[in-house]
Chain A
């Protein structure tokens, strides 16, 4: 009998992580990507590359933790762009109320077994002397970190065996276990995995559409980022304002929040913004707001020379949770997307879960919360645009 064959659509960090996991399980993988290479399109190319554990939801926390653990196993520690840069995350509180909310987050993290601690006053500035002295305190999560997603993605793909990559190839239709390419070629496989970010659901075509198409949605959320020149990496931690959860992942329509990430290249990546829509041209007005917001937490940032600015889009879902599992009603086409701002953190864990389900293995994590079939029951209370 032929080898188990999987077609993966999208060579971003999620698609390549799936290729890696599936090829480890003996599948023969065909990876199809519209862009010219792995990791150079979409959120993989645009994202900051932070690996953070998100305490907002117990299920999301588990996915983040597993992702973080796997990244640390997959990559060497602190070796430039190729490795896992162990910066830690430092969440920043501007007042007592925010500090209390960070303390509650710390307690939740502790009960999940995640190392973290709060700091106040001088303790905060010992950790990061560049911070604004008016800040009240912070929450430090020491094992969070940074990966440079494009390079790590390319590297992961080069390590995967039995993967045939087809770059510059566009998919026009996906049915159950069948993919049609731009040139009309039809490809069949034992499994099809769609990992195409904000385009996740675009080419799905099947009889049973109507029921879930209203509910399964990808809501693109544009963000703006900037990077400074080298020699300006005056932070050790990824510093994020406590309001970021609300600003960058929450329900607010348009938000700016300070998130500054030191890169192994001794540069700072400055973010962040969030507004509905796909990645468009850089809006200098939004960019200025982002940098001014960063200035509020790290005074002097505005004086650093900026080399480049760009936009990207996070793929959000109606209930704020990723879609990892089969297309409802189908049994050969699978989804891996909707990670919003946590795709890089969660990619290996999501890929592991999907590979385990495709190969009918026991899953490391509970598959239920991510199953795209969960969506109908949530439709009443979910948010949509």
Chain B
């Protein structure tokens, strides 16, 4: 099953499991601080899915590698960015002409191998299209189906279908540039470049967690709710640890369940009220397919300490997390915990779509027609980027996109299901309204932009995103604003950032490493 291997961290040798996420391996070894921020704060992983770049390190000599996306293997060398040592430069062997670029020609390029991407890839490939699927993470399945050994039951058939239909997988690659017909991708571990020429595309980039700054949110040990899920699946052992899962939305329930099943002592705190969530009763009644999973979930959560209308106002510790303050209807409670997993719902990850030139809805989701086609002909979008609606919606939208990309017409029943999923997604969102207090938790001295250490106070007197970026450097670090822009403070600013390549920060070009492998 798991093979013990040796890796080195800042020159010191430590044991890890082969195939484990490098972030999880580091945390298991007690290394939760992976870098220092510009002002010297110790920082660790936040999102564990490649968005926040807080877990970045120099891995096997490559600067700026997101350790959450790297599977552990024997002999891996990790240098933390605890003091910003300067990289000794070695010339690229390609000289100033650059090395030869690997080019892949395909019919359909699918970006993201979660439920939507896999369904799209299967549908199109089974209709005879040549399909390439590109995904950043360690294995296919997206966040919801991420796995280290056996894929979850729901994912298995899709993975088998993709294999049988001959879908080519580029696993561990980020899409960082492109336009209709062309995508440029880079391997997350070493920056190897590949160019993909395609006739059409399906953008299935999923969602990100919303993070709202609060005092102490930058302490190593404070991670996203979905991040805890990914870390556990990536090999983080939390057996016997006391963990608070807090924030809002249905994801918390799944995370709490997984944490409990992994042996943790789980506390669950949901900020919305029971009254808010009761609005789900009717949509749930109308959706019989969800009854059984809902029952199972509630049963699995039995016996854990639960709070409603409650939210975290502060995390304390130093250097690691020690305790949190939970505001409950019965007053503030100080809890000693070893981990805090906190997320305020999901937001569509639209950067690739916007980079490609696709229009957005006023809600921030990618605008698509009933065949999931975006405002650009031949570019389809499926799943969470078109609006948060969950796994079933993602699968069905992926099928529609894949079928349409292959030039066929999806069946009416499938299209009707997509419409019903949208209704359910909206109902879920309506049942978890964010309370206004959450936007005001962070005082002026609290960090807003984690990459550049910009505080809330720094940007208190400006009105536009442009000023935040250019004058105060909010979002000018490697996360490119992904984390800070969901904060209410940034939401209140006018304008928006222009998405330009690189759409995701990837390691620099490293042609020689690629040719050696």
Q: Which chain A residues lie closer than 8 Å to B471 at the CB level?
A: 37, 39-40, 150-151, 154
The reply to whether A302 and B466 form a contact with Cβ atoms under 8 Å apart is: no
Interface residues of B in 80-132 (CB under 8 A from A): 81, 84-87, 89-92, 95-98
The reply to whether A303 and B500 form a contact with Cβ atoms under 8 Å apart is: no
Q: Is the interface of B mostly helix, strand, loop or mixed?
A: loop
Cα–Cα, bound, A180→B246 (Å): 55
Interface residues of A in 238-253 (CB under 8 A from B): none
Q: Which chain A residues lie closer than 8 Å to B376 at the CB level?
A: none
Q: Does B213 contact A (CB under 8 A)?
A: no
The reply to whether A230 and B38 form a contact with Cβ atoms under 8 Å apart is: yes
The reply to whether B90 and A299 form a contact with Cβ atoms under 8 Å apart is: yes
A278-308 contact mask (Cβ, 8 Å, vs B): 1 or 0 = 0001101001100011011011111111111
Q: Does B410 contact A (CB under 8 A)?
A: no
Cα–Cα, bound, A302→B506 (Å): 12
B497-509 contact mask (Cβ, 8 Å, vs A): 1 or 0 = 0101110011111
Considering residues B473, B478, B501, which has the most beta carbons from chain A within 10 angstroms of its beta carbon? B501
Give, as a whole number of angstroms, the nearest-CB distance from B185 to chain A: 13
The reply to whether A303 and B84 form a contact with Cβ atoms under 8 Å apart is: no
The reply to whether A231 and B509 form a contact with Cβ atoms under 8 Å apart is: no
Q: Which chain A residues lie closer than 8 Å to B498 at the CB level?
A: 310
Q: Does B462 contact A (CB under 8 A)?
A: yes
Interface residues of B in 38-55 (CB under 8 A from A): 38
Q: Which chain B residues lie closer than 8 Å to A41 at the CB level?
A: 466
Cα–Cα, bound, A151→B462 (Å): 13
Cα–Cα, bound, A81→B510 (Å): 31
Q: Which chain B residues lie closer than 8 Å to A295 at the CB level?
A: 91-92, 95-96, 98
The reply to whether A304 and B464 form a contact with Cβ atoms under 8 Å apart is: no
- Who on chain A is nearest to B509 by CB? A302
Cα–Cα, bound, A287→B177 (Å): 12
- Who on chain A is nearest to B38 by CB? A230
The reply to whether B505 and A303 form a contact with Cβ atoms under 8 Å apart is: no
Contacts A303-B92, A307-B477; A37 near B502 (Cβ below 8 A): no
- Who on chain B is nearest to A284 by CB? B177
The reply to whether A305 and B506 form a contact with Cβ atoms under 8 Å apart is: yes
Q: When the two chains form the complex, which single residue of B478, B495, B507 contacts A303, counting CB atoms closer than 8 Å?
A: B507
Q: Does A233 contact B (CB under 8 A)?
A: yes
The reply to whether B98 and A304 form a contact with Cβ atoms under 8 Å apart is: no
Q: Does A232 contact B (CB under 8 A)?
A: yes
Q: Which chain B residues lie closer than 8 Å to A232 at the CB level?
A: 63, 86-87
- Who on chain A is nearest to B508 by CB? A303
Q: Does B426 contact A (CB under 8 A)?
A: no
A293-334 contact mask (Cβ, 8 Å, vs B): 1 or 0 = 101101111111111111000000000000000000000000
The reply to whether A300 and B89 form a contact with Cβ atoms under 8 Å apart is: yes
Q: Which chain B residues lie closer than 8 Å to A75 at the CB level?
A: none
Residues of A within 8 A of B (CB): 35-37, 39-41, 45, 81, 130, 132, 150-151, 154, 229-234, 265-266, 281-282, 284, 287-288, 292-293, 295-296, 298-310
A-B complex: 5 closest residue pairs judged by Cβ atoms: A300-B89, A299-B91, A36-B464, A296-B96, A231-B84
In the complex, 25 of the A-B residue pairs with CB atoms within 8 angstroms, ordered by the A residue number, are: A36-B466, A37-B466, A37-B471, A40-B469, A40-B470, A40-B471, A151-B471, A229-B63, A230-B84, A231-B86, A284-B501, A292-B98, A299-B91, A300-B90, A302-B509, A303-B87, A303-B89, A303-B90, A304-B63, A304-B87, A305-B508, A306-B508, A307-B505, A308-B480, A308-B502
